[in-house]
Structure 1
Amino acid sequence: MKIFVYLSAAITFTVLILLIAYIMIKGIPHLKPEFFSLHYTSDNVSFVPALITTVIMTALALIVAVPLGLFAAIYLVEYTGKRKKLVGMIRLTTETLSGIPSIVYGLFGMLFFVNTLEIGFSILAGAATLSIMILPLIMRTAEEALKSVPDSFREGSFGLGAGKLRTIFHVVLPAAVPGIMAGIILAIGRIVGETAALMYTAGTVAKIPKSLFDSARTLSVHMYSLSNEGLYMNQAYATAVILLVLVIVMNAASGAFAKKFMKGRDNG
């Protein structure tokens, strides 16, 4: 069994390294100066407008989904008590949402946000759809993080005279920050890599958006469009390199924030 565990870890690590190496080898030689232009044309097929759109889309989706998912997790862990049927129903709904294909989210976003609310193909419609997609992920990871906090923390806070809300926000939540940040990192990865849902809601316009109601494409949609046309495969590989670097940077920044927060809390 020990050999099997080591072998599984080695295979997983090897596949990851080979995947990253393949993308780097194929994409880095095509990262030419014109690829970094602020304006997209058929000659330079610049990724910069898509990069800016990706950052905006990620920020908007997290602004909506993180508070909702976190407060829902707090309710499930701290306030439901013995109401197991209600908790089970909410968890079943959350797991069902997690298993829905992204294309279905895209069709829902198009029918509801784009057509019914008449927002049109826009960053706002895409961000709203993505926030619904990542909400179950953030909610479940936050719930597990809160449940992992020992009850002795809560009991000690109550023993010192703190109320329920003060205990949650000053004792429980700070202790659960690493687990919550892990969920946010996973959510960022899903947002950055999403394509199907955004093609039906945000559109594929290759320009820097001037407002939240403008149509635009993210890096993943940009890469899909280039490869789908068949004329810019080299630029598609170069976009994959940028996408990979962006995910690594966002994950590293989130992890550094969590460590800094915990270090400041321990010092305080």
Structure 2
Amino acid sequence: MEILNPKILIVDDEQNILLYLSEALEDEGYSIVTKGSGKDAVAALENETFDLLLVDLKLRDIDGLEVMREAKKHSPDMVVIMLTGHGSLDSAMEAIRCGAFDYLLKPSSVQDLKTSIKRGLDKRQDDLHQKRLASQARQFARAVIEGGELANGIDDSTPAAVRITSKEPTTAADELIQVSDVIVDVKKHEVRRGGELLNLTPTEFNLLVTLMNNAGRVLSCKYLVKQVHNYELSEFDSRSMIRVHIKHLRHKIERDPNNPEYILNVRGLGYKFGT
């Protein structure tokens, strides 16, 4: 997710500083709103959404820490950079403890300020991207738990941030895969265990093929999600999604799902198909 035309709120009770900073940052393509008091800043935060707050620590009415707390209350992901002309270790620690991304002493060079702002907005972009991925994973897992299968794993409503370009399957169309008494006919999309035809969903079939193609090898949940759904997720987010598929697949392929002989869990690492 790219933050287009980031919106920055600058709060300082010195008008010359407000003018100087706003002009310098507008030249970088940022959308700038300036406020000359803490109260005006709090009012703006209640009515508008900002990507970044640049605030002086020592304001005449409300100090910068209080403005930052209000900002975090309305938008926990907002980046906050604190400016002060009277810095101390204690004030810096307090600002960071309250959630400030950076703490700069006046007078700071414009280049230092621009660098700090870019780093902060990059971090915000990464955080929002990860939240979108995690949210998509939870929605997908919930749909599976409730008994639904998403067509091909992804549809047009899936955010672009989580779409992965599809790739050709690694197995040939006429390939037969056999491990123990389980046989998969990839071309016919059939699975038999001891001669018995099993009824698997497309997701379960793809998961089984991936496991059997790597029989005896431990595969991480992240790898399995990538192969089965073409999703790029963290191992943590992948775990709950794959766990549901594994449970359903075991009930169909295992003679005793509570004591699996085919699909084995390797604690802390992932799953493997037993040989």
Shared fold (TM-score, shorter chain, > 0.5): no
What is the TM-score with the length of structure 2 in the denominator?
0.23
**Which fold has the larger relative contact order, with Cα–Cα distance below 8 Å and residues 6 or more apart in sequence?**
1
More strand by share: 2
More helix by share: 1
